[in-house]
Structure 1
Amino acid sequence: MRGLFAFLLLLVAAASPAAAADDGRFVERDVASSAFGPIHVTLWLPPGYDRDTGRRYPVVYMQDAQNLFFLDRSNFRKVWAADKAALGLIRSGKVAPFIIVGIDQPGKERYQRYFPVKVPSEPMREFIAKGAGPLQGDGYVAFMADELKPLIDRDYRTRPQPRFTAIAGSSMGGLISIYTLAERPDVFGKAAAVSTHTPLIDPDMLGKAPGLAATIQGSWRNYLYHQLGAPKGRKLWMDHGTATLDQYYAPYQSVVDAEIHRLGWTDKQFRTRVYPGAEHEENAWARRLPEIFGWLLSDWKP
């Protein structure tokens, strides 16, 4: 009887929700935007969020939510597995538990929405808009800073200060992430710009217009000098690979790196990396996301 009783206790424990692994949970919702209409977001709430109701959490806002978590929603049947990267770091005690807010990209208007409007000169901006359509980056930054974040801070237990608020994205999503860090340091204190599309336009165009590459590099110097400024408590990660689209990024990233260092950012505040052989795609970004999060969020102590 004693053995049977012990066996029954094991069965009850195995069936108990408390015994199940807590991998966090997802929440999906639409958020109103004055500039764009409803925008769909997917939140990942970390393990313990529902149990430890007295705790507040830092937040990472990420672009291209379709490609962050779920294969069946992804554009290329590949995902960043952002929740898995976060889980590994949280369970190892390297960073404090944090919330991820994934923001859907709009499809055919993704380029315009993620474009850093003030980086190029006005003539260059007009040239780009003529081919691509109205550039939406400023409106999107305002949505994230003034509409989405206040809602998240209201409805969830966040730590709302800039040092506990990060933004991340890849390619054009990397552009809008560094742009947001520069434009709204009152809201965002950390950014990860992964495989950042620093050429701003299709690299094929650069070889057809003499002087265009130098113009874009000069635009980066000018913008960063006037808008990014000194770190003032912020942290920034930038990287790129060397294959597929990433093979074009080095000349522009080197200009960005030099200017950021000239502004006083040291290795403690600014980390820039090159991944030889890495391609411009989600599996490559997933492989290095634990390293990215681990460095960027290292001061979010458990």
Structure 2
Amino acid sequence: MLLRLSKKRKEIKNVLKLFPLYMPQFQEERMIHMYLPDDYPNTTKRYPVLYMFDGHNLFDDSMATYGRSWRIGQYLQSNHIDCIVVGQECSHQGKKRLDEYGPYPFHSEFAEESFSGHGLDTMHFFVDTLKPYIDANYRTKKERKYTWIAGSSCGGLMAYYAGIKFSRTYSKAVCVSPYFHPTMAYLYQDTKNTRMNKNTAFYLSWGSKETGSHGFVKETIDCLSLANVLIQNHISIHFNVKEDGRHCEEDWEKEVPEIFDFLWTGL
């Protein structure tokens, strides 16, 4: 299926690909939202790939949960950045997203519910199904150096989890406004005990107006606690603490230039 972006802000010339892909871990299909660079049809070039969570929130405002996307495609196109972006759409069944984007059992104060955490299954889909499919059907740079992962909120938590547990696949993990707090005990132990590829780099960002002043303090403590362990293990980290930053796609869009500067560093 081909989907043209809605004419919001600035029309994007290229065509996004939108297609279902079967998730054997959950025995159901999920929509994949994919951005291809402008010159993809006319060249034989290969491209790095950024894999992301919540694919429906990445490109088109009309598909985004709250009517506002990251508008990543517009940024990549207007700046002539050669990168493929692949986003997996989350489950929209009740609160299933929290279960699938939670790598450990946890209790959510916001949802007022406990979840068993099937994030490991989700990551096996990304690593064992999604990446092989994309590599087989598109001109990608398959090497770890050119394979990255990113997400926000629960997707930011999953990107961090992927960075520590699947560093053999992903060289960089972008964790925007990550929902760390309910799983901190597990995250801390896994960060401390997992043998990561030393050439892994993390981007960690959070805003001062995401959850109020008390929540901001907790977020800061969580991120710095994990960062301290990563630094002790000689893992590279890029911080972006956003003054007045909110927990929403409109503010995450503002980070897109810095995110791609981070991803392009060292190439």
Q: What range is the shorter-chain TM-score in?
A: 0.7 to 0.9
Contact 1:57–1:97 (8 Å) recurs in 2:
yes
Which amino acid counterpart does residue 116 of structure 1 have in structure 2?
P
Contact 2:107–2:182 (8 Å) recurs in 1:
no
- Return closer, same or farther for 1:282/1:126 CA change in 2, 3 Å cut-off: closer
The 5 Å alignment of 1:1-302 reads 23-36=13-26, 37-52=28-43, 54-89=44-79, 91=80, 97-107=82-92, 108-117=95-104, 125=105, 131-200=113-182, 216=184, 218-227=185-194, 229=196, 231-245=197-211, 247=216, 248-265=218-235, 269-300=236-267
- CA drift of 1:78 comes to 1.1
Distance (whole Å) between structure 2 residues aligned to residue 197 and residue 86 of structure 1 = 26
Match of 1:6 in 2: none
Specify the SS of the correspondent of 1:185: coil
Contact 2:106–2:117 (8 Å) recurs in 1:
no
Specify the SS of the correspondent of 2:23: coil
After superposing on structure 2, the runs of 4+ consecutive aligned residues of structure 1 that deviate more than 4 Å are none
Specify the SS of the correspondent of 1:259: helix
Deviations 1:143-194 (A, max 9, x none): 0000011000001011111111111000100010111122212221111000
Rg larger for: 1
Distance (whole Å) between structure 2 residues aligned to residue 220 and residue 35 of structure 1 = 23
Distance (whole Å) between structure 1 residues aligned to residue 225 and residue 149 of structure 2 = 22
Contact 1:86–1:293 (8 Å) recurs in 2:
no
Distance (whole Å) between structure 2 residues aligned to residue 137 and residue 199 of structure 1 = 16
Distance (whole Å) between structure 2 residues aligned to residue 276 and residue 228 of structure 1 = 34
The structure with higher relative contact order (CA 8 Å, sep 6+) is 1
Distance (whole Å) between structure 2 residues aligned to residue 113 and residue 249 of structure 1 = 22
Contact 1:257–1:272 (8 Å) recurs in 2:
no
Specify the SS of the correspondent of 1:249: helix
- Return closer, same or farther for 1:228/1:241 CA change in 2, 3 Å cut-off: farther
Contact 1:24–1:48 (8 Å) recurs in 2:
no
Distance (whole Å) between structure 2 residues aligned to residue 24 and residue 158 of structure 1 = 18
Where structure 2 has 5 or more consecutive residues not aligned to the other structure, the ranges are 1-10
Q: Which stretch of structure 1 is more off in the superposition, 77-86 or 168-177?
A: 77-86
Distance (whole Å) between structure 1 residues aligned to residue 168 and residue 52 of structure 2 = 18
Contact 1:137–1:176 (8 Å) recurs in 2:
yes
Specify the SS of the correspondent of 1:238: strand
Distance (whole Å) between structure 2 residues aligned to residue 70 and residue 150 of structure 1 = 26
Deviations 1:97-117 (A, max 9, x none): 110101101122111111122
Deviations 1:274-300 (A, max 9, x none): 111111111110011111111122334
Pick the structure with more strand per residue: 2
Distance (whole Å) between structure 2 residues aligned to residue 264 and residue 243 of structure 1 = 31
Contact 2:46–2:141 (8 Å) recurs in 1:
yes
Question: What's the % identity of the aligned pairs?
Answer: 23
- Return closer, same or farther for 1:279/1:72 CA change in 2, 3 Å cut-off: same
Pick the structure with more helix per residue: 1
Which amino acid counterpart does residue 262 of structure 2 have in structure 1?
W
Contact 1:46–1:97 (8 Å) recurs in 2:
yes
Distance (whole Å) between structure 1 residues aligned to residue 182 and residue 195 of structure 2 = 18
Contact 1:190–1:235 (8 Å) recurs in 2:
yes
Contact 2:106–2:182 (8 Å) recurs in 1:
no
Which amino acid counterpart does residue 157 of structure 2 have in structure 1?
L
TM-score if structure 2 supplies the norm length? 0.86
